[in-house]
Chain A
Amino acid sequence: MLKRQYIPLWVTIGLFLLIFIVGSFRYTGFFSMQVLLNLLIDNAFLLIAAVGMTFVIVSGGIDLSVGSMIALTTMVSASLLQQGWPPMIVILLVLIIGVLFGTAMGAIIHYFNIQPFIVTLAGMFLARGLCYVISINTITIDNAFYTSVAQTKIKLPGGSFISISVLIALAVVAMGIYLAHYTKFGRNTYAVGGSEPSSMLMGLPVARTKMMVFGFSGFCSALAGIVFTFYMLSGYGLHANGMELDVIAAVVIGGTLLTGGVGYVVGTFFGVLIQGVIQTIISFEGTLSSWWTRIVIGVLLLLFILLQRLLGERRLTGRSSG
Chain B
Amino acid sequence: MMKHRLFWPLMVLVVLLLFNLIYSPDFFSIKMRDGHLYGSLIDILNFGSPLILVAIGMTLVIATGGIDLSVGSVVAITGAMACLSISRANDQNGLVAVLGAVGIALVLSAALGLWNGFLVARIGIQPIIATLILMVAGRGIAQLITNGQIITVLSPKYQYIGAGSLLTLPFSIFIVAAMFVIASLLTRKTALGLFIEAVGCKPTASRLAGVRSRTVMLAVYMFCGLCAGIAGLLLSSNVSSADGNNAGLWYELDAILAVVIGGTSLTGGRFYLAGTLVGALIIQTLTTTIYMVGVPPEITLVVKALVVLAVCLVQSEKFRGLLRGRPKAGPLQTANPEVKRHA
Given the complex of chains A and B, what is the CA–CA distance between A118 and B279 in angstroms? 14
B332 → A minimal CB distance (Å): 6
Given the complex of chains A and B, what is the CA–CA distance between A47 and B29 in angstroms? 54
Residues of B within 8 A of A119 (CB): 309, 312
**Counting CB contacts under 8 A, is A152 at the interface?**
no
Contact of B316 among A113, A291, A299, A320 (CB under 8 A): A113
Contact with B along A244-277 (1 / 0, CB 8 A): 0100110010000011100000000000000000
**Counting CB contacts under 8 A, is A6 at the interface?**
no
- The A contact surface, by secondary structure, is helix
Contact of A291 among B144, B302, B332, B336 (CB under 8 A): B144
Residues of A within 8 A of B304 (CB): 125, 129
- On whether the beta carbons of B136 and A249 are closer than 8 Å, the reply is yes
B125 → A minimal CB distance (Å): 5
Of the A-B pairs whose beta carbons lie under 8 Å apart in the complex, a sample of 18, sorted by A's number, is A113-B317, A114-B316, A119-B312, A121-B253, A122-B308, A129-B300, A133-B299, A206-B331, A293-B140, A294-B136, A297-B137, A298-B136, A298-B140, A299-B137, A305-B129, A305-B133, A313-B124, A321-B204
**Counting CB contacts under 8 A, is A301 at the interface?**
yes
**Counting CB contacts under 8 A, is B157 at the interface?**
no
- Contacts A195-B337, A305-B130, A309-B125; A126 near B137 (Cβ below 8 A): no
Given the complex of chains A and B, what is the CA–CA distance between A313 and B122 in angstroms? 13
- Contacts A113-B331, A117-B256, A118-B312; A305 near B125 (Cβ below 8 A): yes
Given the complex of chains A and B, what is the CA–CA distance between A260 and B126 in angstroms? 12
A206 → B minimal CB distance (Å): 7
**Counting CB contacts under 8 A, is A302 at the interface?**
yes
**Counting CB contacts under 8 A, is A2 at the interface?**
no
- On whether the beta carbons of A291 and B143 are closer than 8 Å, the reply is yes
Contact of B148 among A60, A112, A291 (CB under 8 A): A291
Contact with A along B114-142 (1 / 0, CB 8 A): 00000100011110111011111111110
- On whether the beta carbons of B302 and A129 are closer than 8 Å, the reply is yes
Given the complex of chains A and B, what is the CA–CA distance between A129 and B296 in angstroms? 11
Given the complex of chains A and B, what is the CA–CA distance between A302 and B138 in angstroms? 13
Contact of B260 among A118, A126, A292 (CB under 8 A): A118
Most buried by B among A197, A302, A313: A302
Given the complex of chains A and B, what is the CA–CA distance between A51 and B138 in angstroms? 26
Closest to A65 in B: B305
**Counting CB contacts under 8 A, is B209 at the interface?**
no
**Counting CB contacts under 8 A, is A287 at the interface?**
no
Given the complex of chains A and B, what is the CA–CA distance between A259 and B138 in angstroms? 23
The residues in A between 41 and 97 inclusive whose CB is less than 8 angstroms from any CB of B are: 60-62
Given the complex of chains A and B, what is the CA–CA distance between A294 and B141 in angstroms? 8
B244 → A minimal CB distance (Å): 8
- The B contact surface, by secondary structure, is helix
- Contacts A197-B332, A197-B337; A295 near B312 (Cβ below 8 A): no
**Counting CB contacts under 8 A, is B202 at the interface?**
yes
Residues of A within 8 A of B299 (CB): 129, 132-133
The residues in A between 275 and 309 inclusive whose CB is less than 8 angstroms from any CB of B are: 289, 291-295, 297-299, 301-302, 305-306, 309
Closest to A249 in B: B136
Residues of A within 8 A of B239 (CB): none
**Counting CB contacts under 8 A, is A148 at the interface?**
no
Residues of A within 8 A of B336 (CB): 197
- On whether the beta carbons of B301 and A294 are closer than 8 Å, the reply is no
We find that the number of chain A residues with CB closer than 8 angstroms to chain B is 59
B327 → A minimal CB distance (Å): 14
- On whether the beta carbons of A295 and B305 are closer than 8 Å, the reply is no
Given contacts A118-B312, A197-B332, A258-B126, 20 further A-B contacts (CB under 8 A): A117-B67, A117-B343, A118-B257, A125-B302, A128-B301, A196-B340, A245-B132, A249-B132, A252-B129, A289-B144, A289-B148, A295-B144, A298-B140, A301-B136, A302-B133, A305-B129, A305-B130, A305-B133, A306-B123, A309-B124
Given the complex of chains A and B, what is the CA–CA distance between A118 and B309 in angstroms? 8
Residues of A within 8 A of B178 (CB): none
A204 → B minimal CB distance (Å): 12
Residues of B within 8 A of A122 (CB): 305, 308-309, 312
Residues of B within 8 A of A125 (CB): 301-302, 304-305, 308
**Counting CB contacts under 8 A, is A322 at the interface?**
yes
**Counting CB contacts under 8 A, is B34 at the interface?**
no
Given the complex of chains A and B, what is the CA–CA distance between A233 and B56 in angstroms? 43
**Counting CB contacts under 8 A, is B214 at the interface?**
no
- On whether the beta carbons of B318 and A259 are closer than 8 Å, the reply is no
Closest to B134 in A: A298
Given the complex of chains A and B, what is the CA–CA distance between A115 and B308 in angstroms? 12
**Counting CB contacts under 8 A, is A200 at the interface?**
yes
Residues of A within 8 A of B257 (CB): 118, 121
Given the complex of chains A and B, what is the CA–CA distance between A136 and B300 in angstroms? 12
Residues of A within 8 A of B244 (CB): 291
- On whether the beta carbons of A301 and B132 are closer than 8 Å, the reply is yes
Residues of A within 8 A of B301 (CB): 125-126, 128-129, 132
